[in-house]
Amino acid sequence: MSDILVHTEAGVCTLTFNRPDKKNSITAAMYGALADGLQAAQDDAAVRCVVIQGNETIFSAGNDIADFLNNPPAGADSPVFRFLRGIAQFPKPLIAAVCGPAVGVGTTMLFHCDLVYAGDNAAFSMPFVNLGLCPEAASSLLVPQMLGHHRAAEALLLGEPFMAEAALEVGLVNRVLPPMEAAGYAQTVARKLAAKPMSALVETKRLMKKNQTQQVLAVMAEEGASFGRMLGEPAAKEAFGAFMERRKPDFSKL
Ligand code: COA
């Protein structure tokens, strides 16, 4: 079975991470499938809303570390950047249902969603510094904008996780639910949106985002260049090596 499931019903296209044995970590092939799924949903007039979800215990552990090391993203057309540009510019309503850990891009992609519903077990983290890396998906812009600089520093410099209630408080999450109810609630809201006039939804979303889209894309490109360079540097090599060897990283000389 595919690692990304695509299911369309009643005007709602649902993209589901389906790699639970690897905590839904995202390979280049999965980024490609997500980018294609978003493009198909954008082009299909029968799709009026998209939901992104994992399962009740895990949203996503972020980039697949081994895949990232073996196939680092090469250039703007690489699957990860196609996905990030796709999600940042997606014209129709985009909802996420998040339960369990949402690490790295598992959290940063949520800043591009219009509505986020979280299980009370959701744990958000952006541990880029701890991995010798820098933010991606325009999170260096969008996280401080939403959380304010000091809370953003806790999340991005310390890489500290925060739970669903804290995400609700800062406005990253619309509602916290029991994990078994999050996906169902997201579908209910998606169907509510799907019953509304499409032209009004799309125009409203365009107007809400238009002043920032170009800036978001420019920040994403700058972050992407730094992230790509830093992937090959000693700090990231030590962090990723430590993860694979299940030991603590040693940054004392870096
Ligand atoms: N990339 C590749 N494999 C990953 C992964 C990732 N990002 N996250 C988890 N996995 C794999 C583990 O290697 C393990 O595989 P194995 O069973 O073959 O040994 C499996 O998924 C289960 O992971 P485990 O760490 O045992 O699960 P857990 O429930 O204890 O913890 C997480 C879950 C998500 C908190 C933890 O896996 C984690 O922190 N992952 C790394 C996340 C990360 O740093 N992502 C950012 C990348 S830029």
| Distance (Å, whole) CA 123 – CA 107 | 9
Q: pLDDT by residue (tens digit) across 232-244?
A: 999 999 999 999 9
**30 Cβ closer than 6 Å to some ligand 1 atom:** no
CATH 3.90.226.10 for domain 4-177, yes or no, is yes
Task: Determine the atom of ligand 1 nearest the C-alpha atom of 65.
Answer: 1
**For all residues of the chain together, what is the average pLDDT?**
97
Residue nearest to atom 16 of ligand 1 (CA): 22
Give the model confidence (pLDDT) of 110-132 as tens digits: 999 999 999 999 999 999 999 99
Atom 38 in ligand 1: residue holding the nearest Cα:
61
Compute the average pLDDT of residues 38-42. 98
Shortest CA distance to 251 belongs to which of 239, 241, 240?
Answer: 239
How much is the pLDDT for 69? 85
pLDDT range class, residue 1, cuts 50, 70, 90 = confident
Reported as a pLDDT band with limits 50, 70 and 90, residue 141 is very high
Whether 75 shows a pLDDT value over 90: the answer reads no
CB of 236 within 6 A of ligand 1: the answer is: no
Burial of residue 162 (CB within 10 Å: 0-12, 13-18, 19+) is: buried
Ligand 1: atom nearest CA of 101 is: 34
pLDDT of residue 143: 98
Closest residue to atom 18 of ligand 1, CA basis: 22
